[in-house]
Each structure stands twice: as C-alpha cells, then as structure tokens.
Amino acid sequence: MRHCDSELHVTGRSEYTDDVAPPEGLLHGAVFGSPIAHGKIRNLDTSAANAIEGVRGVFVYDDIPGQKFIGAVIQDEPLFAYDEVMYHEHPIVLIVADTAELARKAAKLCKVEIDPLPITVCPREAYKAGDVLQEVRIFEKGDVESVWDQCDYVLEGKIDLAGQDHTYLETNRARAVPKEDGQVKVYSSTQSPSAGQKTIAAVLGIPMHKVEVDVKRLGGGFGGKEDQATHWACMASLAAVKLQRPVQIVLNRVEDMQMTGKRHPYKQDFKIGLSKEGEILAFDVAHYQNSGAYMDLSAPVLERTVLHATNAYAIPHVKILAAACRTHLPPNTAYRGFGGPQGMFALEAAIYRAATEMGVSPDWIQKKNLIQDGYKFHYGQVLKDCRMQRTWEEAEDAFEFSSVNDRVEAYNQTHRGTKKGFAIMPVCFGISFTKTFLNQGSSLVHIYTDGSVSVSTGGIEMGQGVSSNMIAIVARSFGISPDRVRCNSTNTSRIANISPSAASATSDLNGNATLIACQEILSGLCDVAARELGGKPEDISIENGIVHLSDNLTDLTWEQLVLKSYFSRVQLMAHGFYTPPGLHYDFTKSDNNPFHYYTYGTCLIEVTVDCLRGNYTIDSAKIVHDLGRGIIRSVDLGQVEGGLAQGIGWVTLEDLAYSDDGRLLSFALSTYKAPDADFMPDDLVVKFLENADNPGGPLGSKAVGEPPFMYGIGAYFAIQHAIDAFRPQIPDEIVSPMTPERVLLSLYDVKSVKPAEPSVAL
C-alpha cells in the first residue's frame, strides 16, 4: 500500500480547505495587526476601512458576543488585541469584504495610535525581570551539587537555540458557513477540530452542538495548527454568524509568518560532570523558554523539554530548571518534537564540549552512557523493552562506526580547503500526550451493503499518512483490499471530543480504536458466516475478500457475507474507543508513568565544510530506527526522511531573524531558508529494526511522526566537528542554527583583521 492521497496529490486534484467550490456569497477576511511589538492602544480608527465599497464588516474585540479570551491550556489570549498589543502584527481588526484584495486594501487603512512600552525578545531578560507565564520549576534527581567534586571533568556552557517556522505548504485558513437555527459549519485547517469547535462555540456564546468543524486534510501542520488554527476559525465564524454570509480567511505567507507562533527558541545554561572513564555523573541545565506573549502550549512544551532533558542517557544526578519566559513575540507553539528537541540539544552540546575537553570523540561518551532496561528516569518511569542499545549497535555494525573517525581524520589531514565532520545522534522519545487525559482515540466504521467500507476517526490527515494507516488497519482487520475502504474527513459531528492530532500518537490512538470497532462488527459477521457455512464463529476468517473456514477457502465472498448480515439484521457499523493503559503523570510527584512506550533510534551524519566559503554539504545520514512492525513502509519512510530534513533544517539553514524591536526580519521564504531535496544527503540510508513488534501499537506498530526530527541535531555537531578540524575553538556561546554565514565567521578570527592561523595554509 502507499499513501492513499498520493495520486490525487501529484495530479493536483486533492482538495484542501479553500479548494472546495466556494459557496454563493462567500466573503473574504483580512487581518489588521499591530505596527509595533508592545504598547497601549490609545485610539483605533477603522472608519476609512469601513468606507470602502465592498467592505461588508469590520470586527474588533467588542464585537465578540461570548468569551473574548482563548487558549488551549489557559484562556489568556484575547481574540483581538484591545488595550495592549503584545507583538508586532498582533491582530486588532478583522475586515470582511467581497474579495481578499479589497479586505487587505481596507486593512491597510486602519489607523491605530499606540503608546509604546518596552519590548523584550530575549527570554533571559524576561526571566531576570520576573516575567514568567507560570511558576519557575526545578526538577531534581539525586544531588548534582554533591558530585561536582568527584568528577574528573566539569564543563559549563551557554546556548542560544533559535525557533523554527513551520513552513507548511498550506498557510493557516478557515471557512465558516452559517447554517439554519444559528448553527455554523467550519472548514478549518486545524490539527484540533474539537478545540476549534469548543472555542468557536465559546466565542459565539452558543452550545458546541451548533458548531460543526470539518477537516479533510491539511497541507502540513507540524504542530503549527495544534493550537493556532483556532484563531482564524473563530474570526471567520464570528463574521459569518454576524453577517449571515460564508466567510473565509486565508493568510498569505508573510501574514502567516508574522502573525503565528513558532518552535520555541530557548536560551540554556549547562554544567556537566564526568569521570575520566567517560561516565556522565551529573547534568545541571537551565531552560529559559522564549514563550512569546501568551501561554498557548508553552507549559506542556516546556514539560516535554524537562522529560527529554536526558534523552537516551543514564545519568545519576540531574537538575533541570524550567522557566516559561514571556516575550513580545507571537505566542510560540507546538512543533514536531514538542520541546523534546530543545531538551536533547542542550545535552548533546554538553557532551560535545566535554569530548573536546577530554580529547575524545563524543560517541565514546555517548555509547558509554546509553540507557537500558530498568533505568529510572528523573520523572520516575522505569524502562522496559528498551531498544536504545540495540539501535546503536545495529547502526554501529551496519554503518561501521569504528572506521568513521579514521576516515574523517585521514581526509582532514590531506585536505586544507575542505574539512569533514561527523556526529552520531541517539534518540529516545516518549510516546503519549503528557496531558494524560488527551490519550484517547475514537473511530466509526461503516460497512455499506455493497461491501464498501468507510472509516471516520479523530485523526487529522496532514500528510503524515494517518488516513492511509486507518485504511490499512480496516483492510487487514476485515481481510479485504484497501481499495474497498475509504477514509472520511474528520468531523466533530461524527466523532466527539477529539484530541489534537499530535504527540505522534494519532495512528496509535485512533488506529487502536479502529481495531476495536472492526472487531465488534467482525464478531457479528463471523456468527453469520458460521451459520451459513456450518462451522464455529472462531474458525471463520476472511482473506483477500473470501471467507475461510478453518483456514480453508469457501465460496462465500466478503460482499455476500455483508449482504447476508444486513438481511439478518446484524450491525454493520460500530464505534470504537481506545485509551492506553497505565498512564499517570503529575509533575509534582516523582513516581510517574507518562509514556505508553518509547521510540528509539540512532543516526550517523557526515558533512563536508567548505572552509573558504562557509558552505557545507550534508554528505550522508544513516539511520537505524525502531518502528515496531511498520504499517505502511513507504509512509513510515516518508516520516523518517521528512522528520530528518526538518531537524537538519532547524539547526542549519532556518534562521528566524528578529530586530531588537520585535519584528521578524526573515518573514518570507526568500529570506527564511528551509532545506530542499537538493540540500538533503544523496547518501540517505534508513534501516528499520526487524522482529520488533510493539505490543502497544496497532498491528504491532510504533509512533513515528516526531522522533526522526531529532536525528537532525547531529548535523549541528557534525559541522562543528569539521570547523574544529580547521580551527579548533570553544565558542563563548553555542548558537544554532549553524548557517553558512555563521560557519564562515567561526572559521576565521573575524575580530582581528589578520586571517587566523589555518587560513595561511590555504
């Protein structure tokens, strides 16, 4: 099987939110945002905008009939800024007009007078000023302070880790259509249809059953539409209900980049202590999260940073400070890995620094400290069926770790203008929402009388292949061809109280629910078949669309069985509900079990740096990944390769540049570079663990969406390795992304006009 949308996608026929034929009278919205990043609104004048011919409505904070503040964790964010603007382009007014062009033209005519207030874009500064979104937390295991003296090596460092734009192909958008009796139907490009439904209902002051949210598919979400799709859906719904006309809001790329939150940038301090044998004895890290102006998902993102602060390593003494710092940027939000990558980066940076000091290769330290069964994390979960060492060892054998160092060193000794570097990145990522209640999935399976099947779940198709996985699960459960199964849009009228499609858990939760629904229908079908064929229900099976009795082929086809069941008044539809067992997590306690299981993998990345220009190429990425028993190989491979690309992009090319007054300077794809296919290594090898069924996942599978992202972190340290081969250095601050410009600056001592030593040899 392949991705069920692949043919539609490559022929351009797949429909996204605003591709659906426009309803009659469709109006278009545009948003007027704040011209400065922080200040008190003194006066707002929308009269010029209102006077334009073709403008049908102008909406501000006071026009909201119901709840005026939104947010998934706490409702601290006004749908429109009204007294204080908190970031550049903070939405203040929604203009609705006959065309999008007119609406944008009118938005430009809005005038706002703002008394400027101080602007903070740095989380360290916000922290010092005490401007935090929640109590600063410290998590401890053992006692780091007691062991520094016993360490042979103690290293400290500072990190400046940038955020990342989601760069989904489809920008944020929503279309709201008013229906009879005060109802509204909303087509929203969202990962969280139920959050959208709930918030729209609250904003409008109507019950949730009057709001229907429908999502066919997203042109990518990557976390950016977990919480932040809601705003546009609420605005479109507000205007649609007030004007009794369908209203659509489609952000253009610049608006999307300026107005929506991103991966959280972090500032970090670390201190690591090791024995001379390479054991990590203590790790002390402070995470200053750049949360942006409002809470959004910052608290759970920070929580995952804390949970993954020790990644794949067993460390006896750990101390983690976690501060969610308010800055004057759009509220930062979920992004593939959900805080995990930031947690893992800090530890890799610490290991790299220690290896430099000790004169060893980082992988020597990494391997010595890998977690194994029985290890108890700092939050209390005890590892079982740990495959960390297994993926490392398989990668070590397959990709010949033992010879990489020699090969790279030999190259570097014989080349002056270019240098090679490598890094290994082990990943251990916990699967489950850390908000335990979100771990629930629902599925509705319908068999129609012609034997065709449809499945509806809470899963949102955003390119990751959840629809294909659901089809595969139904087809395998019923023993029929995937061609007989169709996956419906995700709709709040079919499935209630849908958890976000996030945390890599969508196929897990909804797939297990689908299995349960299929089982329920199947038991009725087997009774009918057994009666028909004169056997026992438990001896019935269906393969390739034919009913088997005690593994022997019969004449009864799937279609005949379905029709006979229908005439026997046996149910041909069922709802399945699933929640993983044994989860509990309360950050105030130390005895937790937040994760259903972990996904593991090990990646080797090799790079070449051009030491004259600062450019680099990613030569190879070689991965051993634990997928359990994969559902659809091509879909899983797409997730691993795509995640890797995004991870490499985060630490190399993707540079969110802000001015001191809080404006995003790289606000278009001309200045913000994301990796393309050409940037990716030609030599890309992905091996999946074999015989690795996961009892917790549907059909033995494991969640795959986010973990591969973190392999990309290796690219940063591989480039640093190559730089160090040219000009050994210990930077004052470890800064990511490692753009070619930054590489160039670090290759030479730019503070003195005279080129540094190695360049003389050029």
Question: If contact means CB under 5 to 8 A according to the sort of partner, which of ligand MOS, ligand HPA, ligand MTE, none does residue 290 touch?
Answer: none
Count other Cβ atoms within 10 Å, centred on residue 4: 22
Q: How far is the CB of 690 from ligand MTE (least distance, A)?
A: 22
> Is residue 221 at the binding interface for ligand MTE, with CB under 6 A as the rule?
yes
Q: How far is the CB of 164 from ligand MTE (least distance, A)?
A: 11
Binder of ligand MTE out of 502, 529, 607, 715 (CB under 6 A)? 502
Question: If contact means CB under 5 to 8 A according to the sort of partner, which of ligand MTE, ligand HPA, ligand MOS, none does residue 304 touch?
Answer: ligand HPA
Q: Which two tokens stand for residue 745?
A: 């600056």
Q: Quote the distance between the C-alpha of residue 378 and its chain's center.
A: 24
Binder of ligand MTE out of 203, 505, 542, 623 (CB under 6 A)? 505
CB 699 within 8 A of CB 473: yes
**CA-closest candidate to residue 526, choices 561, 552, 569:** 561
> Is residue 336 at the binding interface for ligand MOS, with CB under 6 A as the rule?
yes
Q: How far is the CB of 194 from ligand MOS (least distance, A)?
A: 15
Give the C-alpha distances (Å, rounded to integers) separating 420 from 414, 486, 606, 668, 718: 11, 49, 7, 32, 8
Q: How far apart are CA 428 and CA 713, in angstroms?
A: 13
> Is residue 338 at the binding interface for ligand HPA, with CB under 6 A as the rule?
yes
CB 597 within 8 A of CB 505: no
Q: How far is the CB of 159 from ligand HPA (least distance, A)?
A: 23
Residue 207, SS3 per DSSP: coil
DSSP state letter for 710: G
Say how many residues touch ligand MTE, by CB under 6 A.
Answer: 21
Q: Residue 485: what residue type?
A: V
Q: Which is nearer to ligand MOS, 278 or 337 (CB)?
A: 337
Pick the piece of the chain touching ligand MOS (CB under 6 A) from 330-338, 368-376, 420-428, 657-665: 330-338
Binder of ligand MTE out of 92, 96, 204, 503 (CB under 6 A)? 503
**CA-closest candidate to residue 536, choices 544, 546, 548:** 548
The strand pair at 546-549 and 552-557 is best described as antiparallel
Q: How far is the CB of 502 from ligand HPA (least distance, A)?
A: 4
Binder of ligand MOS out of 503, 533, 611, 645 (CB under 6 A)? 503
Query: Sign of the C-alpha dihedral, residues 667, 672, 675, 678?
Result: positive
Question: If contact means CB under 5 to 8 A according to the sort of partner, which of ligand HPA, ligand MTE, ligand MOS, none does residue 642 touch?
Answer: ligand MTE
CB 68 within 8 A of CB 61: yes
DSSP string, 571-614: --EEEEEE--TT-B--TT-S--B--SEEEEEEEEEEEEEETTT-
Residue 417, SS3 per DSSP: coil
Share of the chain residues as helix, strand and coil, in percent rounded to the nearest 5: 30, 25, 40
Q: How far apart are CA 106 and CA 31, in angstroms?
A: 10
Binder of ligand HPA out of 263, 264, 378, 435 (CB under 6 A)? 435
> Is residue 502 at the binding interface for ligand HPA, with CB under 6 A as the rule?
yes
Site for ligand HPA in 295-334 (CB under 6 A): 297, 300, 304, 334
Q: Which is nearer to ligand HPA, 27 or 297 (CB)?
A: 297
The HSE-up count of residue 138 (CA atoms within 13 Å, CB side) is 6
Q: Which is nearer to ligand HPA, 175 or 304 (CB)?
A: 304
Residue nearest to ligand HPA as judged by C-beta position: 503
Residue carrying structure tokens 């060193």 = 409
Name the phi and psi angles at 345, rounded to 5: -60, -45
Binder of ligand MOS out of 171, 191, 311, 477 (CB under 6 A)? 191
> Among 212, 303, 348, 706, which one carries the catalytic annotation?
706
Pick the piece of the chain touching ligand MTE (CB under 6 A) from 11-19, 72-80, 218-226, 628-636: 218-226
Q: Which is nearer to ligand MTE, 471 or 502 (CB)?
A: 502
Q: How far apart are CA 2 and CA 482, in angstroms?
A: 10
* Terminal Cα distance for the chain, rounded: 53
Question: If contact means CB under 5 to 8 A according to the sort of partner, which of ligand HPA, ligand MOS, ligand MTE, none does residue 649 touch?
Answer: none
Q: How far apart are CA 152 and CA 32, in angstroms?
A: 58
Name the phi and psi angles at 58, rounded to 5: -130, 125
Per-residue x/- mask for ligand MTE, residues 459 to 498, rule CB under 6 A? ---xxx-x--------------------------------
Residues 6+ positions from 695 with CB-CB distance below 8 Å: none
CB 603 within 8 A of CB 427: yes
> Is residue 223 at the binding interface for ligand MTE, with CB under 6 A as the rule?
yes
Q: How far apart are CA 503 and CA 459, in angstroms?
A: 12
Residue carrying structure tokens 């959840």 = 466
Pick the piece of the chain touching ligand MOS (CB under 6 A) from 43-51, 160-168, 332-340, 684-692: 332-340
Query: Sign of the C-alpha dihedral, residues 436, 270, 296, 83?
Result: positive
> Is residue 251 at the binding interface for ligand HPA, with CB under 6 A as the rule?
no
CB 94 within 8 A of CB 235: yes
The HSE-up count of residue 539 (CA atoms within 13 Å, CB side) is 13
Binder of ligand MOS out of 283, 294, 335, 585 (CB under 6 A)? 335
Say how many residues touch ligand HPA, by CB under 6 A.
Answer: 13
Site for ligand MTE in 330-359 (CB under 6 A): 336
> Is residue 166 at the binding interface for ligand HPA, with CB under 6 A as the rule?
no
Q: How far apart are CA 153 and CA 73, in angstroms?
A: 41
Q: Residue 88: what residue type?
A: H
Pick the piece of the chain touching ligand MTE (CB under 6 A) from 86-94, 198-206, 220-228, 719-727: 220-228
Residues 6+ positions from 537 with CB-CB distance below 8 Å: 523, 526, 527, 529, 530
Q: Which two tokens stand for residue 446?
A: 């319908």
Q: How far is the CB of 422 from ligand MTE (least distance, A)?
A: 26
> Is residue 226 at the binding interface for ligand MOS, with CB under 6 A as the rule?
yes
> Is residue 431 at the binding interface for ligand HPA, with CB under 6 A as the rule?
no
Q: Which is nearer to ligand HPA, 502 or 651 (CB)?
A: 502
Q: How far is the CB of 760 from ligand MOS (least distance, A)?
A: 47
Q: How far is the CB of 334 from ligand MOS (least distance, A)?
A: 4
Q: Which is nearer to ligand HPA, 299 or 386 (CB)?
A: 299
Q: Residue 102: what residue type?
A: L
393 is catalytic: no
Q: How far is the CB of 515 from ligand MTE (least distance, A)?
A: 16
Give the C-alpha distances (Å, rounded to integers) separating 52 from 46, 49, 517, 530: 11, 6, 54, 72
Q: How far is the CB of 222 from ligand MTE (least distance, A)?
A: 4
Q: How far apart are CA 248 and CA 27, in angstroms?
A: 6
Question: If contact means CB under 5 to 8 A according to the sort of partner, which of ligand HPA, ligand MTE, ligand MOS, none does residue 463 touch?
Answer: ligand MTE
Q: Which two tokens stand for residue 43?
A: 């006066």
Q: How far apart are CA 449 and CA 641, in angstroms?
A: 40
Per-residue x/- mask for ligand MTE, residues 620 to 659, rule CB under 6 A? -------------------x--x-----------------
Question: If contact means CB under 5 to 8 A according to the sort of partner, which of ligand MOS, ligand HPA, ligand MTE, none does residue 433 touch?
Answer: ligand HPA
Q: Which is nearer to ligand MTE, 55 or 460 (CB)?
A: 460
Q: Which is nearer to ligand MOS, 338 or 558 (CB)?
A: 338
> Is residue 518 at the binding interface for ligand HPA, with CB under 6 A as the rule?
no
Residues that bind ligand MTE (CB under 6 A): 220-223, 336, 462-464, 466, 501-507, 639, 642, 703, 705-706
Residues that bind ligand MOS (CB under 6 A): 191, 223, 226, 334-336, 338, 502-503
Residues that bind ligand HPA (CB under 6 A): 226, 297, 300, 304, 334, 338, 433-435, 438, 500, 502-503
Instruction: Show which residues are catalytic.
Output: 706
